Amino acid sequence: MLKRKLVLENGTVFIGSGFGSDREISGEVVFNTSMTGYQEIISDPSYCEQIVTLTYPLIGNYGINRDDFETVAPFINGLIVKEYSEYPSNFRCDETIDSFLKAHNIPGLAGIDTRKLTKCIRKAGTMRGYIANEEVPDDEIIRRLQQIPVRHDQVKQTSTSKPYIVPGRGRRIVLIDFGMKHGILRELTKRDCHVTVVPYNYSADNILRLKPDGIMLTNGPGDPQDVPEAIETIQRVIGAIPIFGICLGHQLLALACGAKTEKMKFGHRGGNHPVKDILHGKTFLTSQNHGYAVNTASLANTDLELTQIALNDHSVEGIRHKVFPAFSVQYHPESSPGPEDSNYLFDDFLRLIDQTITKQQEEKVYA
């Protein structure tokens, strides 16, 4: 098997064996601690241009199937595992993880100490890394890595380029696609919503022309500050239409209301992150994937209130607007993969829409 290696920008080297594509690749190296759900993780567009390390020691044992994709084509740059299974066993299995990665030209690296790599990232913070053949000199790789510019267009890469409709008989939702996980769309269609999916830079005027009952802001890759057009759009529509934001959508809602976001040391990525709903005193296990967070102190001078916090580090996990019908969470209520504890938030969104419509009708009658 081809000897390959990962070189981190601080000079740490991990030697292992290649699977998937054997091209060279760079990317921000992050880790996910989920014990299952590698297909959803690989196909989550929020990992665009990242090299994902899975800490669970055996990956690929139930193969890749037709049903569990979160997007049509994966956007990750590379995958790092301790051991990958060449002989998956599952009735839904269509192909191996190796053949899937080969087909999408994504390099995999196996046989390295993923626990050591994860500790390294936790200690030093998220770093960029480079996967190459073992014989390429390390200093040459670091030189190449330093020359690769940091990109800011991940949302543009992953968002739909044209609007499209997923029909339903229920509430009309405009879903702004920042690199959507299909789980979000599934949760809305399950509730019979009529969903119009629009690109990340669709104008506020065009959105309002669709006369939506609610606006959904999706997850997505990169730094929320890289999408100023979306911040402006949210500022134009907030108040008029109820809004629900997830992950990047949550960060954009916060920015639109005057709060600040910041890069975390190594982020939250996994299927068992405890979150406390401070309004109701309840704790949930959540599915997470984020490298940025809303700055807690910056909420003070805004009309936003803190609704949920992460129990591991007390970072912001949920906010809501004090006046307008708008709320958001940093984690993934659509799960895929992970616990479904917070699925009820989609019902809360539809209830908020119903309440807003009733209120608007009453205001008309008594005007």
Ligand X SMILES: NC(=O)CC[C@H](N)C(=O)O
Distance CA 238, CA 214 (A): 10
Near ligand X by CB under 6 A: residue from 62, 292, 324, 327: 292
Distance CA 219, CA 70 (A): 12
Q: Which of 40, 49, 70, 334 is catalytic?
A: 334
User: What kind and span of H or E run contains 96?
Assistant: none
- Strand 107-110 and strand 13-20: pairing? antiparallel
Rounded to 5°, the CA angle 180-67-163 comes to 30
Subset of residues 36 to 95 that bind ligand X, contact rule: CB under 6 A:
46
What are the φ/ψ torsions at residue 201 (nearest 5 degrees)? -110, 20
Instruction: State in angstroms the smallest separation of the CB of 233 from ligand X.
Output: 17
Q: Which of 48, 193, 247, 257 is catalytic?
A: 247
Contact 243, 234 (CB under 8 A): yes
Q: Can residue 221 be called a binding residue for ligand X (CB under 6 A)?
A: yes
Q: Can residue 290 be called a binding residue for ligand X (CB under 6 A)?
A: yes
Structure-token match 């992970």, residue found? 338
220 is in an annotated binding site: yes
User: Is 187 an active-site residue?
Assistant: no
Near ligand X by CB under 6 A: residue from 184, 247, 256, 353: 247
User: What kind and span of H or E run contains 303?
Assistant: none
Near ligand X by CB under 6 A: residue from 126, 196, 233, 289: 289
Tally of CA atoms within 13 A in the half-sphere of 213 that contains its CB: 20
130 is in an annotated binding site: no
251 is in an annotated binding site: yes
Contact stretch for ligand X (CB under 6 A) within 57-65, 165-173, 215-223, 342-350: 215-223
Structure-token match 């690296």, residue found? 109
289 is in an annotated binding site: yes
214 is in an annotated binding site: no
Near ligand X by CB under 6 A: residue from 88, 220, 245, 271: 220
Contact stretch for ligand X (CB under 6 A) within 69-77, 229-237, 289-297, 313-321: 289-297
For the chain, where are the E strands, in sequence order?
A: 3-8, 13-20, 25-32, 50-54, 58-59, 78-80, 83-84, 107-110, 127-133, 164-166, 172-177, 194-199, 214-217, 243-246, 261-277, 282-294, 304-310, 316-321, 326-329
User: Is 332 an active-site residue?
Assistant: yes
Name the residue nearer to ligand X (CB basis): 96 or 286: 286
Near ligand X by CB under 6 A: residue from 27, 88, 291, 337: 291
Q: Can residue 183 be called a binding residue for ligand X (CB under 6 A)?
A: no
Instruction: State in angstroms the smallest separation of the CB of 178 from ligand X.
Output: 7
Whether the CA torsion 78, 80, 81, 86 is positive or negative: it is positive
Contact stretch for ligand X (CB under 6 A) within 1-9, 63-71, 82-90, 214-222: 214-222
- Amino acid at site 49: E
Q: Can residue 255 be called a binding residue for ligand X (CB under 6 A)?
A: no
248 is in an annotated binding site: yes
Of 320, 322, 259, 318, nearest to 286 (Cα)?
Answer: 318
Q: How many residues bind ligand X (CB under 6 A)?
A: 11
Instruction: State in angstroms the smallest separation of the CB of 268 from ligand X.
Output: 9
Quote the crossing angle between the two packed helices 228-237 and 248-256, to the nearest 10°: 70
159 is in an annotated binding site: no
Contact stretch for ligand X (CB under 6 A) within 9-17, 141-149, 217-225, 317-325: 217-225
Q: Can residue 159 be called a binding residue for ligand X (CB under 6 A)?
A: no
Ramachandran quadrant class, 60 (left: phi over 0; alpha: psi -120 to 50; beta: rest): left
Q: Can residue 219 be called a binding residue for ligand X (CB under 6 A)?
A: yes
6 is in an annotated binding site: no
Name the residue nearer to ligand X (CB basis): 88 or 291: 291
Of 334, 314, 332, 324, nearest to 356 (Cα)?
Answer: 324
Q: Can residue 222 be called a binding residue for ligand X (CB under 6 A)?
A: yes
Residue numbering of the annotated binding site for L-glutamine: 46, 220, 222, 248, 251, 289, 291-292
Residue numbering of the annotated binding site: 46, 220, 222, 248, 251, 289, 291-292
Which spans of this chain sit near ligand X (rule: CB under 6 A)? 46, 219-222, 247-248, 289-292
Residues annotated as catalytic are 247, 332, 334
